[in-house]
Amino acid sequence: MSSGTPPPASLSLERCAARPHGPGRQGRYCPRFTVGETEADRDGKWAEFKKKLQVFWPGGSWEPFTDTSHLPPEHADVVIVGGGVIGWSVAYWLKRLEARKNALRVLVVEQDPTYSMASTGLSIGGIRQQFSLPQNIQLSLFSIEFLRNINEYLAVPDEPLLDIQFNPSGYLLLASEEKAAVMEHNVKIQRQEGAKVCLLSPKQLKDKFPWINTEGIALASYGLENEGWFDPWCLLQGLRRKALSMGVYHSHGKVVNLVSSVRSMMTSSGEQVDLKRIYEVHVKVDNSLECQPVECAIVINAAGAWSGEVAELAGIGIGSPGTLQGTRLPVEPRKRYVYVWHCPEGPGLEAPLLTDITGSYFRREGLGGYYLGGCSPMEEEEPDTKDLEVDHDFFQKKVWPYLAQRIPAFNSLKVRSAWAGFYDYNTFDQNGIVGPHPLVSNMYFATGFSGHGLQHAPGVGRAVAEVLLNGNFNTIDLNPFSFNRFYRGKKVLENNII
């Protein structure tokens, strides 16, 4: 019912208004609607009632007959920009680790409640231990423990248990002669961190997976446990449901402005540095030209592929080149296609997620002879990111020939569907950015995961909550993922990006 429409005469307005006004006032201030009066009469009485209400609620937005649950509150301790898997994971961990129940007022702002463009729902749900950086391996090890015990973390009383649909089929990475030494080195690190990964010679590979053509392969690494794929929606909705049950606020709207106070300082070399503190987040809600200001103490940038834009709202990257102020957050959308095909003669149930020496990959999809896969394009071939249209030629030219060469059964596949999604791509070193900005000291990042953010969401959420609440990473040290590396030009390279 809109705010200007009076309720039906049968509705007891006295009772509606009794609670905010206190006992004894209801008869005096509530409109009485009688049978036979015109719509205009009722509108007039209703307007009068609202005017009187303002006496008791000056400046208030009390509106009993309008659903305002999507609007942000006027203030929050922490505002999280982006309600994807990362944003909700941060919200969940903040509530879980807060020292006292209800100590923190946390708000998640999401511009698109249908998640039509968000990476989370468009990902292929993979989790692996086979990274080259200890931090990424540790994040994956924590995530698998989280996923295997998801109901111990995310169950909500009286709600159905979560079924993450984990397929523990492993990842199989193939290496050419040229890359074999790097693979060997990576596996050494993975084992040091506690991952169960084995190396396979071409002969061992053929014995285990006879459907693979081993031509051009010098070495393979295969995850023996804790790798496979799961349902991304289940993780997102599970985190969201749990966080809401713990008192997190959510709002549907786009963060369009971040208002800061500025303190200017001079460095010893005479350079002016502006230290900023965001004190208000402006949220533009649907069907309104106005923005809702939310007073806040901390802002978390978890806007995925769009987090570079959100950083700019705080002035990050706007300054002289080569200065900290002029260093932008190097995260942008990169379009990735996923194709689904049917091939009853394909590798079958025991197929892991395989990545070829050419970069193309596939995995089984369900049990009916379906597979999905794709390939990241070369830097110079990156498609435009104005929409999520699929380029079907890309499959014909850049994916199918390589996969059919590697798995001859795929010569007879038939493509049945396809989709595209955006990687939250860190153009600097394809790795996450976690922790505060050095100059905008109350903006924290949780972004830039470049194709592995879904599986790392549980650990990243915990890490951000730790650094925010305790000032340190307590469980996994993610200091190497700080923003400062962009200014210093120090890459934290992950070799295994798919």
Ligand X SMILES: Cc1cc2nc3c(=O)[nH]c(=O)nc-3n(C[C@H](O)[C@H](O)[C@H](O)COP(=O)(O)OP(=O)(O)OC[C@H]3O[C@@H](n4cnc5c(N)ncnc54)[C@H](O)[C@@H]3O)c2cc1C
CB of 281 to ligand X, least distance (A): 9
CB of 198 to ligand X, least distance (A): 21
Interface residue with ligand X among 238, 346, 373, 451 (CB under 6 A) is 451
Interaction of residue 112 with ligand X, rule CB under 6 A: yes
Interface residue with ligand X among 449, 473, 481, 486 (CB under 6 A) is 449
Interaction of residue 132 with ligand X, rule CB under 6 A: no
Helix (H) or strand (E) holding 85: helix 85-97
CB of 233 to ligand X, least distance (A): 11
CB of 256 to ligand X, least distance (A): 7
Interaction of residue 303 with ligand X, rule CB under 6 A: yes
C-beta of residue 162 within 8 angstroms of C-beta of residue 154: yes
- Tokens representing 57? 């609620």
Other CB atoms closer than 10 Å to residue 73's CB: what's the count? 13
**Amino acid (one-letter) located at 158:** D
Interaction of residue 140 with ligand X, rule CB under 6 A: no
Collapsed DSSP state (helix, strand, coil) of residue 440: strand
Burial of 342 (0-12, 13-18, 19+ CB in 10 A): middle
Taking contact as CB under 6 A, which single stretch among the options 29-37, 148-156, 264-272, 447-455 is the one that binds ligand X? Answer: 447-455
Interaction of residue 255 with ligand X, rule CB under 6 A: yes
C-beta of residue 190 within 8 angstroms of C-beta of residue 197: yes
Q: Which of residues 454-483 bind ligand X (CB under 6 A)?
A: 454-455
C-beta of residue 480 within 8 angstroms of C-beta of residue 492: yes
* Site map (CB under 6 A) of ligand X, residues 66-105, x = contact: ---------------xxxxxxx------------------
CB of 452 to ligand X, least distance (A): 4
Interaction of residue 248 with ligand X, rule CB under 6 A: no
Interaction of residue 29 with ligand X, rule CB under 6 A: no
| Long-range pairs for 211-216: beta carbons < 8 A, 24 or more residues apart | 211/346, 211/347, 211/348, 211/407, 211/408, 211/409, 212/354, 212/406, 212/407, 213/405, 213/406, 213/407, 213/408, 215/405, 216/176, 216/357
Interaction of residue 111 with ligand X, rule CB under 6 A: yes
Interaction of residue 302 with ligand X, rule CB under 6 A: yes
Q: Which of residues 322-341 bind ligand X (CB under 6 A)?
A: 336, 338
Beta bridge partners, 374, equal 361
Q: Given the complex with ligand X, which of 124 and 172 has the nearer CB atom?
A: 124
C-beta of residue 352 within 8 angstroms of C-beta of residue 171: yes
Beta bridge partners, 171, equal 353
CB of 283 to ligand X, least distance (A): 8
Size of the site for ligand X (CB under 6 A): 41
Interaction of residue 346 with ligand X, rule CB under 6 A: no
Interface residue with ligand X among 362, 410, 422, 483 (CB under 6 A) is 422
The phi and psi torsions of 96 (rounded to 5 degrees) equal: -70, -35
Q: Given the complex with ligand X, which of 86 and 357 has the nearer CB atom?
A: 86
Interaction of residue 252 with ligand X, rule CB under 6 A: no
CB of 25 to ligand X, least distance (A): 41
Interaction of residue 312 with ligand X, rule CB under 6 A: no
C-beta of residue 175 within 8 angstroms of C-beta of residue 183: yes
Collapsed DSSP state (helix, strand, coil) of residue 246: coil
> What DSSP assignment string belongs to 401-420?
HHHHHHSGGGGG-EEEEEEE
CB of 118 to ligand X, least distance (A): 3
C-beta of residue 484 within 8 angstroms of C-beta of residue 437: no
Binding site for ligand X (CB under 6 A): 81-87, 109-112, 115, 118-120, 122-126, 254-255, 302-306, 310, 336, 338, 421-424, 447, 449, 451-455
